[in-house]
Amino acid sequence: MMRHRQFTLRVAFWLAVVLPFAGHAGDAAYASERYEGYYYPENLTEEHYVSPAQKLPTATRESRLAFVSGVALSASDRAYPPQRAMFAKGDQAQKLIVVSLYDNHMTTLAQARAVLALMTGVARTTKILRDMQVESVFNFLDFCKMLGFTELTISDGRTFAHRFVLE
């Protein structure tokens, strides 16, 4: 009975939180503009992150969505509600967005970087990265580059938003 309830909660989480964000976004330039002011504030800062990792030839839209699902699933396995929402946008799910679900959380770039550092460990536990046997020297942004994400935007959902353009 308990397993059935856990499975039902996971499915409900998937349907309510992750699935609505996994759709196509259309033209890339329009897509970024479309997300600003909707998923995160318009006054975002931006930096280019040059990753030592290479995009994997096997990286596809499906592998990026599987990665997002794996990270979301690990968050739903905890005894407390998820602290942030993570979803892929863009016609090939190449834009990753991470938004805090709590006030006064990830309000600075330093806090956002700390969250990404924590997410590195979580990402390593996902099936897709375990199957790829990636090196432990890589961080969350490197994993994103390997999977074919071209940018990652992280936000507190109110006043702070920062985009990493992955190169």
Q: How far apart are CA 159 and CA 76, in angstroms?
A: 26
Given a cut of 80, whether residue 28 has pLDDT beyond it is: no
What pLDDT sits at residue 78? 75
Sheet holding 45-49, edge to edge: 45-49, 161-166, 151-155, 95-100, 84-89
Q: Name the average pLDDT for the chain.
A: 82
List the beta bridge partners of residue 87.
Answer: 97
Structural domain that includes position 72: 2-166
Count of domains forming the chain: 1
- Report pTM: 0.78
Cα four-point dihedral sign 25, 29, 34, 39: positive
